[in-house]
Amino acid sequence: MARVVAILLAVVVAATASASLLAPAAAELTRVEHPPKTEGSLNILAVGDWGRRGQFNQTLVAEQMGVVGEKLDIDFVISTGDNIYDDGIANTSDPLFKECFTNIYTSQSLQKPWYIVLGNHDYTGNALAQQDPAIREVDSRYLAVAKSFIVNSEIADFFLVDTSPFYLKYWNSSKYDWRNVAPRDTYIETLLKDLDDALTQSEAPWKIVVGHHPISSGCEHGNTTELQQLLRPILEAFYFPRLRHHLF
């Protein structure tokens, strides 16, 4: 979604660490293990729509994230996509990457893993470059390890879902990098099945689904018909509340 201001959302999840470390590995989705603090708490920041070379107040938001990040002693950051405007990065050595990420999020408290999904603006560039291990040699925090993946934090499982391919109108444009995605129907079918399996198998008390696009929204872009039809039924089975703005 095209938005001018980066959003910053602090989420504090504290619950008894009751989840089993031995939850069975689900279907196909890549998993990252990120245990909570020893006393069982987990503090994270989430941000989306940010990569503006510091402009559009990105730097100011980054500074405040640094302050809040230190106060909360955050464990990691989640990015909900539109990481690099306007058209993602061209390759893993594109200077835009450092200008939008490395050189902006310099606070000590933000030197943590960033778990990242792509937004539509990332898809109109080289979408694969953001996932390439070579990008992590440029900045090891940048963990867009797969298009969709799971972060297991014992008290919470985060399901990062690649929502751009759902939008039919994007498929009408030649600007999108659908390598490793097309054909759409197969991709979505596999993704939904893997997500459903992973949600079913998750034993974490908190199951948090993260994606770039809203399912239902009262703001300018409105509801996403494709997500309402395809994704929402899976989430409703887990009694998710109605969600605003991002899926988060």
Catalytic machinery residues? 221
Maximum CA extent, the chain: 50
Q: Of all helices (H) and strands (E), which one includes residue 193?
A: helix 184-201
Q: Which is nearer to ligand NAG, 4 or 219 (CB)?
A: 4
* 90: contact with ligand NAG by CB under 6 A: yes
Task: Pick from 16, 39, 169, 185 the residue near ligand NAG by CB under 6 A.
Answer: 169
* Three-state DSSP state, 207: strand
Task: Pick from 41, 64, 91, 107 the residue near ligand NAG by CB under 6 A.
Answer: 91
Cβ contacts of 8-11, under 8 Å, gap ≥ 24: 8/45, 8/46, 8/47, 8/61, 8/64, 8/65, 8/68, 9/45, 9/46, 9/47, 9/248, 10/44, 10/45, 10/46, 10/68, 10/72, 11/43, 11/44, 11/45, 11/46, 11/248
Query: E-assigned strands of 107-213?
Result: 114-116, 142-143, 149-152, 156-161, 206-211
* 168: contact with ligand NAG by CB under 6 A: yes
Q: Which is nearer to ligand NAG, 18 or 93 (CB)?
A: 93
Query: E-assigned strands of 41-84?
Result: 41-48, 76-79
CB of 211 to ligand NAG, least distance (A): 16
Q: Which residue stretch of 37-45, 74-82, 89-97, 141-149 sits at the interface with ligand NAG (rule: CB under 6 A)?
A: 89-97
* 172: contact with ligand NAG by CB under 6 A: yes
* 103: contact with ligand NAG by CB under 6 A: no
Q: Which residue stretch of 24-32, 36-44, 109-117, 216-224 sits at the interface with ligand NAG (rule: CB under 6 A)?
A: 216-224
* Three-state DSSP state, 4: coil
Q: Which positions from 28 to 67 touch ligand NAG by CB under 6 A, shown as an x/- string?
A: ----------------------------xx----------
Q: Which residue stretch of 6-14, 86-94, 132-140, 202-210 sits at the interface with ligand NAG (rule: CB under 6 A)?
A: 86-94
- Residues in CB range of 138: below 8 A, 6 or more apart: 92, 93, 97, 98, 102
CB of 12 to ligand NAG, least distance (A): 25
Distance CA 19, CA 72 (A): 23
Q: Which is nearer to ligand NAG, 169 or 179 (CB)?
A: 169
Binding residues (CB under 6 A) for ligand NAG: these are 4, 56-57, 90-91, 93-94, 168-169, 172, 216, 222-223
